[in-house]
Amino acid sequence: MTLIEQSATELLGLLKRREVSSRELTGAYLDQIDAHDQQIHAFLRTDRDRALQQADLIDRRRAQGESLGSLGGLPVAVKDVLCTRGAVTSCASKMLENYVPPYDATPIARLKEADAVILGKTNMDEFAMGGSCENSAFGPTRNPWDTERIPGGSSGGAAASLAASMTPLSIGTDTGGSIRQPASHCGVVGLKPTYGRVSRYGLIAFASSLDAVGPLARTAEDVALLLGVIAGHDARDSTSIVQPVGDYRAATRRPLEGLRLGVVSEHFGEGLDPEVAQTVRDAIDLFKDLGATVREIAMPHSQYAISAYYIIAPSEASSNLARYDGAHYGMRAPEAEWRDGGAEENPLVQMYRSTRAEGFGAEVKRRIMLGTYALSAGYYDAYYLKALKVRRLIAQDYHDAFEQVDLIVGPVTPSPAFKLGDKSEDPLSMYLVDLYTVGANLAGIPAISLPCGFSSDRLPIGIQLQGAALSEELLLQAAGAYQGQTTWHSQRPELA
Ligand code: GLN
């Protein structure tokens, strides 16, 4: 295994023993990015000088015997939805193409405090709306396992950068599956934490009641390491959880005993690719070998999850995205291009209209229209309020399930990665791939995606574990135990 292919925890050991410097390590990842990112396009931006400067500073402090933060010189890639002070944060949108935030998002500030080196900002679907990374205004990311295929979305760059050994750690966000789906398609681990476990301060909002920031990496232990850094209470996010953060890394090494797993039979029914179904079943059998018991559980409202999600998420998005008006920040259409809506029209309205027409991509506009419609007088009760009631029922299903089992296990996505362009003309088919992931966001619970095998085309397949609120330690314990018995996570694609 080459240096850049090692796990973050192994690399941390090398850094601590001074067998490698942060500069060497950071340089090696930047070289890998230079060599392969033309093809993959996992990154929207890197800043070699700034990253190497950060690394040098950390190396110097280590040489002087200073005690360093828990990431002590490890490089991290960050999804371009999190504000980074002094560095462009575009959300993969033309609207924010030149936006330079004056502050760091809390997860970024915590990375810096932990002495991580920020490698760059990763590609994503515009404003995190999408499941394939094709909605980036700056071109799609490609799956390192097959560059004709999507990496999953919306944190496609985050997952692809890991699969292509361009970083040992990545930060993503998950509103309806955007950490877990790309993790599954790229053969890496991704954890969506409990709502409120990681601060949303400085996260560019998509759907505020669903948005979660979380870690992606190649092993459960690395995910645990990163979660331990970014999790924890933050007074700047009013939904932030006060409870102390667990010892996630220790959890990944704890032996698994008497784990009670629940399976939702409808999740193995219509629409699930047979290879995915078989691979996930095999993984469940391995959990049985590790002493787990498996039982069927009922989730009677899970069939309504997609419908509820695609009312609630666009509704919140339509409100959150109202701020991009060409006046506050972000782009403004040049005056010469303002579209005239009629003789009497106020130029301010012309400016709004032209800026939003030009600045947003097609999917973002679709969400704004769906959301505005669902929230409008007369439809509010029929759509938005109804969706909120369904959301409550789904949360109740989970609550009941977790009285009987510790974790719910099943697929992450209905099929392995599809080809670029396959679903672009059909938004509904794109929305349906979120079938297994949106429930966790609606209920606010944590969930993890783990590599559990490959399709006959050698595309990665993931398994999802979902747990009750604040069960991150248990999820990571199960993930660690599974990875102790399997090698799926240590396989790498061959890059051209
Ligand atoms: N695919 C889902 C959507 O498009 C989820 C996206 C996300 O989690 N950010 O809304």
Mean pLDDT of 456-479: 98
DSSP string computed for 54-100: HHHHHHHHHHTTPPPPTTTT-EEEEETTB-BTTB---TT-GGGTT--
Tell me how far apart the alpha carbons of residues 217 and 224 are, in angstroms, rounded to a whole number. Answer: 9
How sure is the predictor about 252, in pLDDT bands with cuts at 50, 70 and 90? very high
For 357-405, what is each residue's pLDDT tens digit? 999 999 999 999 999 999 999 999 999 999 999 999 999 999 999 999 9
Residue 344 above 80 pLDDT?
no
Residue 15 above 80 pLDDT?
yes
pLDDT at 211: 98
pLDDT at 154: 98
**Residue to mutate (ligand 1; options 175, 442, 449; most atoms within 8 A of CB):** 175
Is residue 114 classed as helix, strand or coil in its secondary structure? Answer: coil
Distance 377 CA to ligand 1 centre (A): 26
For 415-428, what is each residue's pLDDT tens digit? 999 999 999 999 99
Share of the chain above pLDDT 70, in %: 100
Kindly report the protein residue whose alpha carbon is nearest to atom 10 of ligand 1. 129
Catalytic residue IDs: 79, 154, 178
The CB of 183 under 6 Å from ligand 1? The reply is no
Taking phi over 0 as left and psi of -120 to 50 as alpha, with beta for the rest, 257 belongs to beta
Distance 63 CA to ligand 1 centre (A): 44
Atom of ligand 1 nearest to the CA of 363: 4
Mean pLDDT of 254-267: 95
For 424-445, what is each residue's pLDDT tens digit? 999 999 999 999 999 999 999 9
Q: How far is CA 151 from the centre of its chain?
A: 12
Tell me how far apart the alpha carbons of residues 193 and 214 are, in angstroms, rounded to a whole number. Answer: 6
Mean pLDDT of 31-41: 98
Residue 319 above 80 pLDDT?
yes
How sure is the predictor about 343, in pLDDT bands with cuts at 50, 70 and 90? low
Element (H, E) at 190: strand 189-192
Neighbouring residues of 97: CB distance < 8 A, sequence distance ≥ 6: 88, 90, 137, 331
Is residue 488 classed as helix, strand or coil in its secondary structure? Answer: helix
For 287-313, what is each residue's pLDDT tens digit? 999 999 999 999 999 999 999 999 999
Please count the other Cβ atoms lying within 10 Å of the Cβ belonging to residue 213: 29
Mean pLDDT of 324-337: 91
pTM: 0.98
Kindly report the protein residue whose alpha carbon is nearest to atom 4 of ligand 1. 130
Distance 228 CA to ligand 1 centre (A): 25
Tell me how far apart the alpha carbons of residues 264 and 431 are, in angstroms, rounded to a whole number. Answer: 20
Distance 89 CA to ligand 1 centre (A): 19
8 A C-beta contact, residue 54 and residue 117: yes
Is residue 58 classed as helix, strand or coil in its secondary structure? Answer: helix
The CB of 152 under 6 Å from ligand 1? The reply is no
Neighbouring residues of 478: CB distance < 8 A, sequence distance ≥ 6: 256, 259, 287, 407, 465
Tell me how far apart the alpha carbons of residues 57 and 66 are, in angstroms, rounded to a whole number. Answer: 11
CA-to-CA separations, 456 to 193, 286, 453, 461, in angstroms, rounded: 31, 20, 10, 11
Amino acid at 466: Q
pLDDT at 339: 81
Mean pLDDT of the chain: 97
**Encoded tokens for 493:** 């694609």
The CB of 21 under 6 Å from ligand 1? The reply is no
CA-to-CA separations, 292 to 131, 406, 411, in angstroms, rounded: 32, 10, 18
The CB of 363 under 6 Å from ligand 1? The reply is no
**Is 3.40.50.740 the CATH classification of the domain at 3-255+448-490?**
no
Q: Range with the lowest mean pLDDT among 183-187, 221-225, 346-350, 379-383?
A: 346-350
Tell me how far apart the alpha carbons of residues 1 and 264 are, in angstroms, rounded to a whole number. Answer: 38
For 84-93, what is each residue's pLDDT tens digit? 999 999 999 9
